[in-house]
């Protein structure tokens, strides 16, 4: 594991976030997804600082050393947008470049739409921005996966996934990480697939031995320690706000992302095939006015900035320098 950087506790939007702040120059805020932490960006910190940027990497609310509000509705997208904007303010800046992965991608995309004056440019990894559908995304997923297990549907009942995942964080994380990675065997259903709708999340998932080259035992131990301390509830609550998000953000039906934007994903990322018969990255273009690139890394899976850090950094740094 690389040397753990110094953390700052920063107040924003009536909560405190634990944030890695490093470097000098234009501010880049990096936002992680589920089930992750600031640590998911460990391979980007030094390259960004060396390129002349200041990085701020929070544990998203509910994770790691950040505050973990109890109510489910404390994790709606409006609140998470406000956390990011407040963090920019707390660091003394008017605007920042936002970079997000997994749930962090919708967080930064929607912050760019809803607070355009605070966002200089935006990069999303794994999850493209597709505006606001006629129905909440979770309703669409229930329709698509009605006869099969799907992890986001499984997460909706409070307490169910928590009990399973909290029982042994190291095992849970190894299985989840491997199942969505580019290293999973062809035909492996991952977090969705053909298993019975009444199955548990970890049923049938591979516990890799040996670990894939991009994920060391030390990496797993760090993540597991964070989730042993925080539990999985905060991160899972993000999935339980999709109806609320849909109702609270009608502006996403019309507004486009107008800032310079970049999308990065792996060709084996299961997120891109959520909708059968369509690759989601093919549907994103109408929602951007200055999309400067879509980088699809061959053979990479969901955890793109960890699986292929050199290739991600090689795509990210020229985009940032061109700003």
The catalytic residue positions are 102, 302
Q: Mapping DSSP to helix (H, G, I), strand (E, B) and coil, where does residue 166 land?
A: helix
Q: How far apart are CA 24 and CA 167, in angstroms?
A: 41
The CA distances from residue 97 to 119, 189, 288, 307, in Å, are: 6, 35, 16, 23
The strand pair at 15-22 and 54-58 is best described as: antiparallel
Give me 186's structure tokens: 């062809």
Instruction: Name the one residue in this structure whose structure tokens are 């002349």.
Output: 52
Q: How far apart are CA 238 and CA 63, in angstroms?
A: 11
Give me 253's structure tokens: 């039906």
Dihedral sign for Cα atoms in the order 64, 42, 178, 34 = positive
Q: Which of 178, 172, 170 lies closest to 270, judged by CA? A: 178
């Amino acid at each position: 594991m690389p040397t753990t950087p110094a953390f700052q506790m920063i107040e924003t939007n009536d909560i405190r976030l634990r944030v890695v702040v490093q470097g000098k120059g234009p501010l880049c805020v990096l936002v992680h997804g589920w089930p992750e932490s600031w640590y998911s960006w460990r391979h980007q910190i030094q390259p960004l600082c060396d390129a002349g940027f200041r990085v701020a990497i929070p544990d998203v609310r509910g994770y790691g050393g950040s505050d973990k509000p109890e109510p489910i509705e404390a994790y709606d997208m409006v609140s998470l947008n406000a956390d990011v904007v407040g963090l920019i303010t707390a660091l003394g800046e008017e605007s920042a470049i936002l970079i997000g992965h997994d749930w962090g991608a919708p967080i930064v995309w929607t912050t760019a739409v809803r607070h355009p004056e605070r966002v200089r440019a935006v990069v999303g990894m794994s999850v493209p921005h597709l505006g606001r559908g006629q129905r909440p995304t979770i309703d669409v997923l229930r329709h698509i996966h009605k006869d099969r297990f799907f992890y986001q549907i499984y997460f909706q009942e409070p307490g169910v996934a928590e009990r399973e995942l909290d029982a042994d964080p190291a095992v849970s994380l190894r299985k989840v990480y491997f199942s969505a990675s580019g290293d999973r065997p062809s035909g492996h259903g991952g977090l969705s697939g053909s298993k019975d709708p009444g199955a548990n999340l970890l049923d049938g998932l591979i516990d890799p031995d040996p670990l894939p080259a991009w994920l060391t035992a030390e990496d797993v131990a760090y993540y597991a320690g964070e989730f042993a301390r925080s539990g999985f509830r905060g991160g899972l609550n993000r999935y339980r706000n999709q109806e609320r998000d849909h109702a609270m953000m009608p502006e996403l039906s019309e507004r486009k992302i107008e800032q310079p934007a970049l999308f990065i994903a792996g060709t084996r990322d299961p997120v891109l095939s959520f909708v059968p018969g369509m690759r989601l990255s093919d549907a994103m273009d109408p929602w951007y006015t200055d999309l400067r690139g879509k980088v699809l890394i061959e053979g990479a899976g969901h955890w793109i900035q960890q699986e292929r850090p050199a290739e991600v950094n090689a795509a990210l740094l020229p985009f940032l320098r061109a700003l």
